[in-house]
Structures are given as structure tokens and as C-alpha cells.
Amino acid sequence: MKLKALFVGCALSMGLVSVSQAGEPLKVGFVYVGPVGDAGWTYAHDQGRLAMDKVFGDKVKSTYVENVPEGADAERVIRQLAADGNKLIFTTSFGFMNPTLKVAKAYPNTDFEHATGYKMAKNVGIYQARSWEGAYMLGVLAGKMTKSNILGFVGSYPVPEVVRNIDAYTLGAQSVNPKIKTKVIWVSSWYDPARERQAAETMIAQGADVLAQNTDSPAVIQTAEEKGVYAFGWDSDMAKFGPKAQLTASTLNWSKYYTMEVKQVLDGTWKPASTLWGMKEGMVVLTPLNPAVPADVAELFKAKEQEIISGTLMPFGGPIVDQSGKVRVETGKEMPMDELMSLNYYVKGVEGSIPK
């Protein structure tokens, strides 16, 4: 990635910067927070990029810079991509929000797309996946497959995104099994396989027999495989780390979105928008079920999946009761979007409290 950044810099200094002209391919840049090979978040984005490349062939030339830290370096990398003549730049991590906006101001003729942020501008659009729909569906399976009625969840950091997934997972499980409890262990890292494993081991020792995680490594599923309990893939398919353990995986598919955005830029119809896609739009995709799932459970699962896709089932539809027993969302209502985006409490059935 350093090398690539260097090339970009060289091109800039030698005056090779070209403005895209008719007949030349549209240059599209991607900024990744992690390595492409991480089998999780960044991997999913790169799969989306490759699929988009395939659709447009010669008309598009995409480049990426991986392992970009969410700090001062990010702005430099984004600026270089813009200077290099990329007309559309995707920045794929929350921490790239302010650098993206800053560079966007300096390059008004370049379009920017920022993932998981909330600030927009004339030439900055935002996009995000409703990953909690996937978490809810994992919960449905977990609720049916557990024998001990204790579910485990390995969390990274207590940010709204992760709390939302824990709540969705628990609500999904409760929808089919009101007796379940969810244990949560925070490992204070997005990426520390040994700690993730220790957290998984601890919960298994405490009786959890279906585990989910919102961390980036496949350590949890690997541990589950070894200890003979069930687990789920998160962000990408992790079946090869636990062929017997993985019940299904909630994966992210960005290809349709990237293809659509690039097409709009090619057609000259691109406008900044705030996009929130889920299972209906094919951005959140569940992988085929483990053969160990009984037919009636699989059927129930498919039915719920269809309900979410058609919009009749809302994962955060009322009644939603928090840990103290207070009703937060009334029956028949849905949690308002701004509350969902800043969710900071556990629903009833989750054990422990959110670290402050």
C-alpha cells in the first residue's frame, strides 16, 4: 500500500495527472481501512470493487489503497487519489469521514462516497448496510438451535453499531424462543484473535452454545468448531474456519451499490444521497444454512427472511423492552431512525451492562 501511494505521488509530481476525457476510462478509487485479505469488512468491499470492474470492463479503471489508518494519513491518501484523476472515490471506514469532506472541498469536480458516516456535502454521498437485519436473522437461528438457552456474543467496542447488532441478535432469538439469554463479552479490539478466542472459550465454559461476534477475525468460529458449539460468520463467509460450526453467515455485498454509483457517474446523473440498504436490496446476504439445521427451522428461517425482505417484519418493531423492563418502543411502532443510529441500551434478555 505504501508503494501504491508512492506511485500515486510520483504521478502527481511528474505532472502526469490527467483529467478524464471522452474515451478514457473513468478512474475510480477505493480507500480501505484494513488489508484486503482480512476475510471480513475490507475483503467484502474489495469483492464489491472487483464485481463492479467486471461489469464495466474497459470503461472503468479502479485502484485501491489498503491498510490506511484512520488519521492524518487518510487525508493524504484520499487527496492523492483525487489528484491522480480518480473521478469517484469510495472511502470505506467511519474514521475517513472528516478527511473525505476536507478533500471533497478541494476537489469539487470529483465525487466522493463515504461508508457508515453521517456527514454529506455537494459532492459527498454516504452509504451503509442495515447489518442489524442480518444479526436479527442469526438470532432466529440461534434461538432455535440452542439447547442451553444461553447465547454468546463477542463484541469489539460498545459503539451504537455493535450494541444494535447485539440487540437485534437477541430480539431475533426471542422471537422464536422467549427463554434465551445473551451473554456479552467485550474484547476492546476489532482484531485480536487470541482475545476473541479467550472470550469465546469463557462463554462456552459458562454454558453458551451458540456464539456470534462483531469482531473481524474468524477466531470465534474457529473456537466454536473446536469445542463443538455453533457460531456464525460475520461480514463474510467463514465456513472454512468452522465447516461444522457455522450455521450461516451474514455477509455484506457491496457490488450492486458500487456498480450503480459508477454507472451514475458515467451517465452524469450522480447526486449525493444517503443510502441505507439491507436484505431487500441484496446488500446484506445470508449464506446457505448448515445441513445440521432441521428442515422445520430452515423453513421458519426462510419465512422470516422473506418477511424482512418484504418489509412486514421490522427487527426493531415494538414492543421493545429494555433491561429495566421499561417499554422503549410500543407495539405496532418502529424504532425511529435517529434512535436506532445512536442506540445505547441493551434490550431485555441481554445480561450485564454496557461499559461506560
Task: By CB under 8 A, name the binding residues for another protein.
Answer: 35, 37-39, 152, 183-189, 191-199, 201-206, 208, 217-219, 222-223, 226, 240-241, 351-353, 355
Per DSSP, the residues of 220-276 read HHHHHHHHT-EEEEEES--GGG-TTTEEEEEEE--HHHHHHHHHHHHHT-----EEE
Tell me the closest approach of the beta carbon of residue 192 to another protein, in angstroms. Answer: 4
CA-to-CA dists, residue 51 to 16, 91, 113, angstroms: 28, 17, 17
Tell me the closest approach of the beta carbon of residue 195 to another protein, in angstroms. Answer: 7
Q: Of the two residues 219 and 343, which places its CB atom closer to another protein in the complex?
A: 219
Q: Of the two residues 334 and 351, which places its CB atom closer to another protein in the complex?
A: 351
The upper half-sphere exposure of residue 56, i.e. CA atoms within 13 Å in the direction of its Cβ, equals: 26
Q: Of the two residues 194 and 273, which places its CB atom closer to another protein in the complex?
A: 194
d(CA 41, CA 252): 8
Q: Of the two residues 48 and 218, which places its CB atom closer to another protein in the complex?
A: 218
Give me the helices (H) in 94-218, please: 97-106, 131-145, 160-174, 193-205
Tell me the closest approach of the beta carbon of residue 124 to another protein, in angstroms. Answer: 30
Q: Of the two residues 189 and 264, which places its CB atom closer to another protein in the complex?
A: 189
Tell me the closest approach of the beta carbon of residue 348 to another protein, in angstroms. Answer: 14
Tell me the closest approach of the beta carbon of residue 11 to another protein, in angstroms. Answer: 23
Query: Most distant CA pair in the chain: distance in Å?
Result: 67
Q: Of the two residues 126 and 239, which places its CB atom closer to another protein in the complex?
A: 239
User: Quick one: which of 298, 288, 294, 317 has its CA closest to 133?
Assistant: 317
Tell me the closest approach of the beta carbon of residue 316 to another protein, in angstroms. Answer: 24
For residue 19, the surrounding DSSP H or E stretch is none
